Amino acid sequence: MASDLYKKLCKEAQNNKLNLTKKNFKTIRDIFKELSKELEIKAVKAKRKSLSERFLLDYKKSIDRSLKIVREELYKNNKKIILESAKYANEVQLSFFNTINNQFDLGLDKTFNVVFSKVPEDAIKEIIRGEMYKDRKGLSLRIWTDTNNMSKDIDYIISKGIAEKKDVYSLSKDLEMYVNPEAKKTFEYNKVYPGTRKQIDFNAQRLARTSINHAFFLSNIRSCKRNPFVEGMKWELSMSHHERQVIKFGPDECDDYAEQNEYNMGRGVFPLSELPLPHPQCLCSQYAVLSKSLEDIGVDLGKWVRGENNPSLDNWYKKYYLDFMR
């Protein structure tokens, strides 16, 4: 590890990511709570109506319209939070170099800003387009699939409600219960509509959590690749790994990653190009390994800025600064 500063920056970024995940949980909840409120109003309005085919058709249409809005909101929100997460990861390298730049008066602030400027946007493209996943499903298709399954559930609830000879009001209340993420489903409800999802926002929450983690991970790697002093990436198990994983289910691949020394770089350390993708819900973190101290890096950069020969920094400058400015 390069310095206490570097460790501190990594910790901060991890904490920012965790807080973002927590805050986002509520945002997604609220999107569905909003939908259930809308259906509650519909239920009250429908109180005196009779369950005609015409009515059901209109009713389903208006629910689908609301679901479309939910889908758009989820997509917009997801894009926003993954960019935020990617920025937190990129900030580690940028802040590190900005500190060195000021401490050693290097005059390289513009260079560093350019080198790291596009990292978050480029990293999240991989998620939005689905390039990083085996199934190649992009963000919008994932969200569409999820809300489309909700629409199918709603069709089923309506047809089942008809078969059970429910009146309009109780059917509407059932639909409201289905979309309300905080409703306790009654025994009666579960008996009438088996196989419908129990928790409306479950998949949306999981997708958001995983996307936040992956955006951070991808941005972290891209950003570390642009730090010429990074030698490798260390896989560090999360503090809760033992309790959440090992005690309950035994060790998983993360234990292997954290233990391995296949590259003779030290325990848990991978070359940048070999770092494996974390599994969904993984809470481990990956830190860049720098053997030079902040002072050594400052001195190296200082000599280079003043014209001393340093092919490695020349290459870095050409690849990430000059090529970008062209």
**What residues line the site for Zn ion (CB under 5 A)?**
254, 282, 284
Nearer of residues 3 and 286 to Zn ion, judged by Cβ: 286
Residue nearest to Zn ion (CB): 254
> Nearest distance from residue 254's CB to Zn ion, in Å?
3
Residue 234's beta-bridge partner residues? 269, 287
> Nearest distance from residue 15's CB to Zn ion, in Å?
18
> Nearest distance from residue 242's CB to Zn ion, in Å?
11
> Nearest distance from residue 249's CB to Zn ion, in Å?
12
Nearer of residues 229 and 235 to Zn ion, judged by Cβ: 235
Nearer of residues 207 and 237 to Zn ion, judged by Cβ: 237
> Nearest distance from residue 211's CB to Zn ion, in Å?
16
**Angle formed by the axes of helices 168-179 and 53-103, nearest 10°:** 20
Nearer of residues 162 and 277 to Zn ion, judged by Cβ: 277
60 contact partners, CB below 8 Å, separation of at least 6: 154, 155, 158
Nearer of residues 82 and 284 to Zn ion, judged by Cβ: 284
Nearer of residues 2 and 254 to Zn ion, judged by Cβ: 254
Residue 256 near residue 279 (C-beta atoms within 8 A): no
> Nearest distance from residue 29's CB to Zn ion, in Å?
26
Q: By C-alpha distance, which of 231, 230, 226, 229 is closest to 323?
A: 226
